[in-house]
Amino acid sequence: MNKLLTYATFTYATLISTTVSATSIANDIELIFPPKGISIEQGSESEPLYKSVGLDVKIHDGAAVYTLNGSFDIGDTWRVFGEYDSNEFWEAGVGKSFYNTFMFTELTAKVNRTGYSAGIFAGIPVSETVTLMADANYNWYTDEFRFGFNLGDDHQGELGIMPSDTVDIMLGASWSANERLNISYSYNHVYDTRGGTSWVTVSGLDVDRQCFLDINCNKGNFNYHDITLTTQVWRFSPYFTYTYFADRENVYEFGLSFKW
């Protein structure tokens, strides 16, 4: 059972890491620094803010995950966006933007393979080169995750996980070092709102246990940090993101977006 517990804990940690890292902070930067450079004082412009299609590569536990993403404006204040990765995780959403002389705000609603979420993002320019950022999302999980395993002697087992709903909070800052380089940092906090559930069953051994993973049975939270470097070469925006977790494998992400 110790080997099973180790496997289950690793699988759950991998699941959480993949979920929270699904959307890079680079996408938030795009909202504040669109290629056409909308002015917050103006509030809007005649053409849509931007359209972009990107390809991201995340390196986690030595494995690469490829993600195709896109964002398309509808008018001056609405946009639709989505992504699909090589682990068959998908997400689609819609955003509504608001501008004034003080800040940029976007309300979003998203649906994905594991559930749906609603959130708000805000960018506050404090100088010509520095912008403060904040983001909050509530995530409802509607999907169960089941993993089969074989203990030998015809003993087949199944591990099941139903993640907790979460509240994700991000606080960060973005610095435009020059016209072609942007550096951003964000502190991220994930809070489990109700505690998830898990179970394991093993045929032939009369094992049917509920909530055997301590990490998933009580309300909990964890933090992680993102550092992103974004460049601009013509209509291409290469970027690199390093995600640091204190108690699990860190994530490296390389991305390339094309905007028109």
* Rounded mean pLDDT, 42-52: 49
Instruction: Give CA separation, 97 vs 23, 93, 101, in Å.
Output: 18, 13, 14
Q: Are 73 and 85 in contact (CB under 8 A)?
A: no
Phi, psi of 216 (to 5 degrees): -115, 10
> What is the pLDDT confidence band of residue 26, given thresholds at 50, 70 and 90?
very low
Q: Are 79 and 97 in contact (CB under 8 A)?
A: yes
For the segment 105-143, what is each residue's pLDDT rounded down to a tens digit? 999 999 999 899 999 999 898 988 899 999 999 999 888
Dist. CA 205–CA 58, nearest whole Å:
39
Q: Are 222 and 20 in contact (CB under 8 A)?
A: no
Q: Which domains does the chain have, with CATH numbers?
A: 49-141+164-192+220-259 (2.40.160.40)
- The pLDDT value recorded for residue 9 is 32
Question: Is the C-alpha dihedral spanning 3, 7, 12, 17 positive or negative?
Answer: positive
Dist. CA 71–CA 68, nearest whole Å:
11
Q: Are 95 and 87 in contact (CB under 8 A)?
A: no
Angle, CA of 163, 169 and 172, to the nearest 5°: 140
Q: By C-alpha distance, which of 190, 191, 208, 187 is closest to 199?
A: 208
For the segment 161-193, what is each residue's pLDDT rounded down to a tens digit? 888 889 999 999 999 888 888 899 999 999 888
> What token pair was written down for 249?
């494998």
